Amino acid sequence: MTNNRTRVVSRTPGKPHQKGVVLIVVLMMLIGITLISIATVNTSVMELRMARNAEFGVNNFQTALSAVDFVMSDPANLPTIGPLMQPTPVTLTGSVFTAAAGDTVTASAIRVGECGLPPRMGAANSLMAFSAFDYEITANLDKNGSGMGQTGVVQGFLQVGPKC
């Protein structure tokens, strides 16, 4: 009687059946790389948001400073009579101060002290022929309606004028 047995020969010596271990290892590596990529994208998105907010903050601050400069540029905006520490609203004109719906740009001038002597530099000088007016200029920019935050600037201002 002849015995016809078929013998199975393994193609990789020493490892007859791998059973997909390499596939599982590669899939785990792909999952790890995917998680790292998602974390990197999330970090990039957050950095973009931070940069946009910083840009909004700088633009808002510059607009508020422009409002302060606008108030100081015209002596008619600065009250010379009336009660002290009483804010006098100033109408801001120009395309710089146009605001979107829900946003506001306001400015005011406050006379801090009565008409007084200007600061001197030692001995008597020609400044004694003038008076000094001390102001506090306030500008507020509220862009919360359009999601760009708000900024406030307060600046002191000393104006030398005719003797009172």
Of residues 9 and 106, which shows the higher confidence score? 106
Cα dihedral 6, 11, 15, 18 in deg (nearest 10):
-100
> How much is the mean pLDDT over the chain?
84
* 3-class DSSP state of 137: strand
What confidence score (pLDDT) does residue 116 get?
80
What confidence score (pLDDT) does residue 83 get?
83
The residues spanned by each domain of the chain are 21-162
Of residues 117 and 110, which shows the higher confidence score? 110
pTM above 0.75, yes or no: no
Q: Which of 70, 49, 47, 65 is nearest to 148 (CA)?
A: 49
Task: Answer whether residue 130 shows pLDDT above 60.
Answer: yes
Task: Answer whether residue 96 shows pLDDT above 80.
Answer: no
5-40 pLDDT, tens per residue?
Answer: 666 555 555 555 667 788 899 999 999 999 999 999
Residue found under tokens 């903050």: 57
Buried b / exposed e across 16-32, counting CB within 10 Å, b at 16+? eeeeeeeeeeeeeeeee
